[in-house]
C-alpha cells in the first residue's frame, strides 16, 4: 500500500506536508527519524549539528513548522538550541533523549519544549506531532482576537466560554497550567542565563519606547504586524529591526500567556457556576464589574493580576482533589486521625506554593526578580508552619462548635487555599509597589478569620455529609481565591477608606462576641488581637466582610472552614510584624499574651520580615519608572480591575448584614 513516504501528495489535509526539522548528532537516529517522518507524510529536513540547525532556521524563518531536537549534542546543548528557537522563531520544539530521568525531562519542558520523547521513538508518537503546531496556531489566533477586541469582546467571549466550552477548558486546566509554568520558567532561566536576544538587543525598552511599540503594533494590526513595519512606524533612531523583532517576540509570548490565563480563569468560573447556582449570580456580578472597570479606568487588556488569582485557584482544586481522595480513606475525624492527615498534607501546600512561585515570577519581568525569589523561597517553609499551628487550634474549635461531623480534611483543603492566597497578596504587594501593603496584608488574614469566626459561631451548617463538603470546598477554594486574592492587588488606600466608611455599620463586634464564646483560648486571643487593633485593621476588616458574603452566602459550610485555619496564620503575621518593628502600632502590644503561638511564628519571622522589608524599603525602587518600564502596562490595569471586582462593598454589605441577622 502507500508505503512510500516520498510521494505524499501536497494537496492532502493539514498534517501532511508539515515541515519538520530534525536535529540529532546521531546519524543513525537521524536516518530513522527521517524515514519515520516521511512515512507520516511530513516534509523532513535533517541536521546533524545544532549550529547548522540554527542557521537553517534563521535563514528560512518561516521554513519550518516544528523542530525535533536531541538533548545531547556535542556542539550545542539541546536546551540551548531550544531556547534560541523558542525566542527567535517561536516554533514548537520537541526534545528527545534516551534518558528519561525526570529532572532532564523537566529541564526540557522548563526550557519550553512542547514535548519530550524518549528514544527509541515510536512512529505513532511522531504521527501526532502536528498537534503541537496546530495548538500553537490556535493560540496565535486567540492572541490576535484578544488584541483586536480588547476588553469588551474579550470579556464577552469569556462569558460565553463559561457557558459553552468552559467545561472542556476545565479539564485542560492542569495541562495548561503546566505549560504556562514552563514557559514562564523558561523565561526565568533566560533572564538568569545570558540570553542571546538580550545580548543582541541592547536597547532598553523604556515605558515610552514600549508604548510607541504598542501603538505601532495596534496601528498596523496585530495579524499584519512585522518588525520592519513597526520599526518604520516607530521611527526611533538607532533602533534596529532585530531589536524590534525580539521585542515583538516577547510581546507575543506575553500576550499568549495572558490568553492562557484567561482561559483558565473562565474555566474556574465554570466550576463555580456549575456547582452553585447562587454564586452564579455573584460571579457574574463580579465579571460585570470587571468589564465596567476596564472601560472606565484603563482601556487595556489587563489580566495581569487577576490571572494570578486564577492561577492560584486552579492550583487549589487540583490539590484539594488529591486531598479528597486521601480523605476518603479516613472517615469523619477524630482528633487522632486528623493528626495523621496533617502529616500528609503538610507537604502538599508547600508544593503547590512552589508551583505558584513559578507562575508568579514571570509577571514581574523587570522588577527585582531576585528579591521576589527570596520571598518565594521563604514561603515554602512559611506555609508549612501555620499548619502545624492549625493542628492545635483547629481541632478544639471543631469540637467546640459541634462540628464533629464535619470532616476536618475538608477544612484543611481550604486552609491550603488560604495560604496560597496569602502568599499571593504579598507577592503582588511586592511587585506592584503599593503603599499600604504591609498593613493590608497582615490585616487581611484577620478578617478572613473574623467572618469565618462568625460562621463558626453560628453553628448552623454543622450537619453535612462529608462528600458535600469536599465538593463545596473546591468551590469555595476558588471563591476565596478570588475574594482574598483581590484585596491585595486592589489595596489602594483610597479604596480601603471607601470601604471602611461604607461598611462601618456592619456589626463586627457582635461577630466577635459570638466567636469568643464558641472558641477556645487560642481563638480568643486572636479575636482580641483583632478587635483591639486600630483603624488600619478596621478598614481591612470591613473590606473582607464585604467579600466574605460572596461565598458565605452560598456555602456557609465550606467557608466556615477557612476561618479556623487562618487563625494560626494570623498570629504569625502579627508576630512577624511585631518583630520587624514595621507593623503599624497594633501588633506589638497585643501580643504579650500568646507566647506559645509566638514561638511558632518566630520561626517564620525571617521570611515575613523580609517580605515586609521588601515592601517598605524597596518601594521607591519599584516606583522607579525605569523598572516599571519592564512591567507590562497591563499589570497595572489589572490591579484596578481587581479591586473593583472585590469592591462592591455596598452590595455585599447588605448581604453580610442579613447574614448576621439570620
Taking the complex as a whole, the smallest distance from the CB of residue 352 to another protein amounts, in Å, to 31
Q: For the chain, percent helix, then strand, then coil, each to nearest 5?
A: 75, 5, 20
Taking the complex as a whole, the smallest distance from the CB of residue 257 to another protein amounts, in Å, to 34
Taking the complex as a whole, the smallest distance from the CB of residue 92 to another protein amounts, in Å, to 22
Residue given cell 484543611 in the structure block: 412
Q: Which is nearer to another protein, 28 or 620 (CB)?
A: 28
Position 16 contacts another protein (CB under 8 A): no
Site for another protein in 83-112 (CB under 8 A): 97-99
Taking the complex as a whole, the smallest distance from the CB of residue 401 to another protein amounts, in Å, to 55
Q: Which is nearer to another protein, 5 or 556 (CB)?
A: 5
Q: Which is nearer to another protein, 24 or 642 (CB)?
A: 24
Among 46, 47, 57, 70, binds another protein (CB under 8 A): 70
Position 25 contacts another protein (CB under 8 A): yes
Q: Which is nearer to another protein, 32 or 346 (CB)?
A: 32
Assigned C-alpha cell, 68? 525535533
Among 16, 17, 19, 26, binds another protein (CB under 8 A): 26
Among 12, 14, 35, 339, binds another protein (CB under 8 A): 35
Q: Which burial class, exposed, middle or buried, applies to 285 when counting CB atoms under 10 A from its CB (0-12, 13-18, 19+)?
A: middle
How far, in Å, CA of 441 to CA of 479, rounded? Answer: 19
Position 220 contacts another protein (CB under 8 A): no
Q: Is the peptide bond before 399 cis (omega within 30 degrees of 0)?
A: no
Among 39, 229, 502, 524, binds another protein (CB under 8 A): 39
Binding piece for another protein, criterion CB under 8 A, among 27-35, 157-165, 255-263, 619-627: 27-35
The 3-state DSSP class for residue 94 equals strand
Handedness of CA 21, 81, 254, 245 (dihedral sign): negative
Q: Which is nearer to another protein, 32 or 236 (CB)?
A: 32
Alpha-carbon distance values, 513 to 401, 530, 533, 559, 621 (Å): 15, 12, 15, 19, 43
Position 77 contacts another protein (CB under 8 A): no
Assigned C-alpha cell, 216? 505601532
What is the layout of strands, in order, in the sheet containing 19-23?
43-47, 19-23, 66-70, 93-97, 115-118
Taking the complex as a whole, the smallest distance from the CB of residue 32 to another protein amounts, in Å, to 6
Contacts of 347 (CB under 8 A, 6+ apart): 384
Binding piece for another protein, criterion CB under 8 A, among 33-41, 304-312, 358-366, 578-586: 33-41
Among 9, 10, 13, 28, binds another protein (CB under 8 A): 28
Position 27 contacts another protein (CB under 8 A): yes
How far, in Å, CA of 194 to CA of 36, rounded? Answer: 36
Angle at 175 between CA 135 and CA 474, to 5 degrees: 135
Angle at 510 between CA 283 and CA 408, to 5 degrees: 60
Binding piece for another protein, criterion CB under 8 A, among 21-29, 310-318, 527-535, 556-564: 21-29
Position 584 contacts another protein (CB under 8 A): no
Q: Which is nearer to another protein, 125 or 145 (CB)?
A: 125
Position 119 contacts another protein (CB under 8 A): yes
Taking the complex as a whole, the smallest distance from the CB of residue 128 to another protein amounts, in Å, to 16
Among 21, 23, 29, 549, binds another protein (CB under 8 A): 29
Q: Which is nearer to another protein, 69 or 375 (CB)?
A: 69
Assigned C-alpha cell, 224? 499584519
**Number of residues that this document lists for the chain:** 662
Q: Which is nearer to another protein, 3 or 509 (CB)?
A: 3
Taking the complex as a whole, the smallest distance from the CB of residue 36 to another protein amounts, in Å, to 6
Position 595 contacts another protein (CB under 8 A): no
Position 331 contacts another protein (CB under 8 A): no
Position 128 contacts another protein (CB under 8 A): no
Q: What are phi and psi of 38, to 5 degrees?
A: -65, -35
CA nearest neighbour of 113 among 81, 73, 88: 81
Among 123, 399, 463, 497, binds another protein (CB under 8 A): 123
Binding piece for another protein, criterion CB under 8 A, among 115-123, 311-319, 484-492, 520-528: 115-123
Taking the complex as a whole, the smallest distance from the CB of residue 29 to another protein amounts, in Å, to 5
Taking the complex as a whole, the smallest distance from the CB of residue 120 to another protein amounts, in Å, to 4
Among 16, 32, 369, 655, binds another protein (CB under 8 A): 32
Among 18, 36, 268, 628, binds another protein (CB under 8 A): 36
How far, in Å, CA of 112 to CA of 180, rounded? Answer: 9
Residues that contact another protein, how many (by CB under 8 A): 23
Position 5 contacts another protein (CB under 8 A): yes
Q: Is residue 503 within 8 Å of residue 545, measured between CB atoms?
A: yes
Handedness of CA 153, 159, 160, 165 (dihedral sign): positive
Q: Which is nearer to another protein, 72 or 344 (CB)?
A: 72
Handedness of CA 479, 484, 489, 493 (dihedral sign): positive
The 3-state DSSP class for residue 34 equals helix
Position 229 contacts another protein (CB under 8 A): no
Among 14, 51, 100, 120, binds another protein (CB under 8 A): 120
The number of helix segments (H) and strand segments (E) in the chain equals 29, 5
Position 9 contacts another protein (CB under 8 A): no
CA nearest neighbour of 140 among 266, 256, 301, 262: 256
Among 12, 14, 31, 241, binds another protein (CB under 8 A): 31
Position 72 contacts another protein (CB under 8 A): yes
Alpha-carbon distance values, 542 to 328, 374, 378, 450 (Å): 37, 32, 30, 10
Q: Which is nearer to another protein, 16 or 236 (CB)?
A: 16
Contacts of 617 (CB under 8 A, 6+ apart): none
CA nearest neighbour of 469 among 653, 618, 311, 320: 320
Taking the complex as a whole, the smallest distance from the CB of residue 46 to another protein amounts, in Å, to 13
Q: Is residue 346 within 8 Å of residue 389, measured between CB atoms?
A: no
Taking the complex as a whole, the smallest distance from the CB of residue 75 to another protein amounts, in Å, to 13
Position 613 contacts another protein (CB under 8 A): no
Binding piece for another protein, criterion CB under 8 A, among 30-38, 245-253, 282-290, 442-450: 30-38
How far, in Å, CA of 541 to CA of 450, rounded? Answer: 8
Contacts of 264 (CB under 8 A, 6+ apart): 169, 173, 176, 177, 307, 310, 311, 314
Contacts to another protein by CB under 8 A: 3-6, 25-29, 31-32, 35-36, 39, 70, 72, 97-99, 119-120, 122-123
Amino acid at each position: 500500500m502507500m508505503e512510500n513516504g516520498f510521494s505524499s501528495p501536497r494537496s492532502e489535509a493539514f498534517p501532511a506536508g508539515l515541515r519538520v526539522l530534525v536535529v540529532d548528532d546521531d546519524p543513525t537516529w537521524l536516518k530513522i527519524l527521517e524515514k519515520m517522518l516521511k512515512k507520516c507524510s511530513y516534509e523532513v529536513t535533517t541536521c546533524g549539528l545544532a549550529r547548522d540547525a540554527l542557521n537553517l532556521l534563521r535563514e528560512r524563518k518561516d521554513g519550518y513548522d516544528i523542530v525535533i531536537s536531541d538533548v545531547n549534542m556535542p556542539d550545542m546543548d539541546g536546551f540551548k538550541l531550544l531556547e534560541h528557537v523558542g525566542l527567535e522563531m517561536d516554533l514548537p520544539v520537541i526534545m528527545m533523549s534516551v534518558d528519561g530521568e525526570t529532572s532532564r525531562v523537566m529541564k526540557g519542558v522548563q526550557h519550553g519544549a512542547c514535548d519530550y520523547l524518549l528514544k527509541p521513538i515510536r512512529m505513532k508518537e511522531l504521527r501526532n506531532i502536528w498537534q503541537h503546531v496546530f495548538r500553537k496556531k490556535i493560540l496565535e489566533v486567540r492572541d490576535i482576537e484578544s488584541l483586536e477586541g480588547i476588553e469588551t469582546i474579550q470579556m464577552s467571549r469569556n462569558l460565553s466560554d463559561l457557558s459553552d466550552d468552559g467545561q472542556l477548558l476545565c479539564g485542560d486546566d492542569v495541562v495548561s497550567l503546566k505549560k504556562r509554568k514552563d514557559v514562564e520558567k523558561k523565561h526565568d532561566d533566560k533572564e538568569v542565563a545570558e540570553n542571546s536576544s538580550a545580548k543582541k538587543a541592547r536597547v532598553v525598552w523604556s515605558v515610552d519606547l514600549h508604548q510607541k511599540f504598542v501603538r505601532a503594533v495596534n496601528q498596523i494590526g496585530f495579524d499584519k504586524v512585522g518588525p520592519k513595519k513597526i520599526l518604520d512606524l516607530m521611527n526611533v533612531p538607532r533602533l534596529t529591526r532585530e531589536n524590534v523583532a525580539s521585542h515583538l517576540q516577547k510581546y507575543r509570548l506575553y500576550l499568549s500567556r495572558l490568553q492562557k490565563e484567561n482561559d483558565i480563569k473562565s474555566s474556574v468560573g465554570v466550576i463555580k457556576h456549575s456547582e452553585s447556582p447562587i454564586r452564579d449570580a455573584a460571579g457574574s456580578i463580579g465579571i460585570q464589574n470587571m468589564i465596567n472597570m476596564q472601560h472606565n479606568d484603563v482601556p487595556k487588556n489587563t489580566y495581569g493580576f487577576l490571572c494570578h488569582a486564577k492561577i492560584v485557584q486552579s492550583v487549589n482544586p487540583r490539590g484539594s482533589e488529591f486531598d479528597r481522595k486521601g480523605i476518603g480513606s479516613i472517615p469523619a475525624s477524630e482528633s487522632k486521625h486528623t493528626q495523621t492527615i496533617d502529616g500528609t498534607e503538610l507537604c502538599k501546600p508547600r508544593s503547590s506554593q512552589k508551583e505558584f512561585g513559578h507562575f508568579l515570577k514571570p509577571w514581574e519581568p523587570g522588577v527585582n526578580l531576585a528579591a521576589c525569589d527570596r520571598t518565594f523561597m521563604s514561603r515554602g517553609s512559611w506555609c508549612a508552619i501555620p499548619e502545624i499551628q492549625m493542628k492545635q487550634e483547629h481541632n478544639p474549635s471543631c469540637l467546640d462548635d459541634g462540628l464533629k461531623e464535619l470532616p476536618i480534611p475538608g477544612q484543611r483543603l481550604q486552609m491550603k487555599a488560604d495560604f496560597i492566597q496569602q502568599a499571593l497578596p504579598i507577592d503582588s504587594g511586592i511587585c506592584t509597589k503599593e503603599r499600604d501593603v504591609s498593613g493590608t496584608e497582615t490585616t487581611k488574614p484577620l478578617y478572613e478569620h473574623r467572618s469565618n469566626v462568625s460562621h463558626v459561631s453560628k453553628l448552623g451548617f454543622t450537619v453535612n455529609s462529608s462528600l458535600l463538603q469536599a465538593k463545596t470546598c473546591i468551590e469555595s477554594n476558588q471563591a476565596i481565591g478570588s475574594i482574598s486574592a483581590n484585596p491585595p492587588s486592589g489595596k489602594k488606600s483610597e479604596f480601603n477608606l471607601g470601604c471602611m466608611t461604607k461598611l462601618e455599620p456592619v456589626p463586627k463586634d457582635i461577630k466577635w462576641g459570638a466567636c469568643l464564646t464558641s472558641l477556645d483560648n487560642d481563638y480568643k486571643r486572636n479575636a482580641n488581637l483583632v478587635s483591639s487593633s486600630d483603624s488600619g485593621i478596621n478598614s481591612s476588616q470591613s473590606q473582607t466582610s464585604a467579600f466574605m458574603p460572596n461565598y458565605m452566602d452560598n456555602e456557609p459550610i465550606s467557608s466556615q472552614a477557612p476561618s479556623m485555619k487562618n487563625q494560626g496564620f494570623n498570629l504569625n503575621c502579627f508576630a512577624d510584624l511585631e518583630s520587624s518593628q514595621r507593623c503599624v502600632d497594633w501588633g506589638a502590644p497585643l501580643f504579650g499574651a500568646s507566647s506559645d503561638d509566638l514561638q511558632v511564628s518566630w520561626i517564620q519571622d525571617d521570611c515575613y520580615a523580609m517580605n515586609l522589608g521588601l515592601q517598605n524599603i524597596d518601594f521607591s525602587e519599584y516606583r522607579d519608572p525605569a523598572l516599571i518600564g519592564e512591567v507590562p502596562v497591563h499589570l497595572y490595569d489589572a490591579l484596578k480591575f481587581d479591586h473593583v471586582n472585590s469592591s462592591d462593598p455596598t452590595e455585599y454589605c447588605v448581604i453580610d448584614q442579613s447574614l448576621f441577622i439570620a
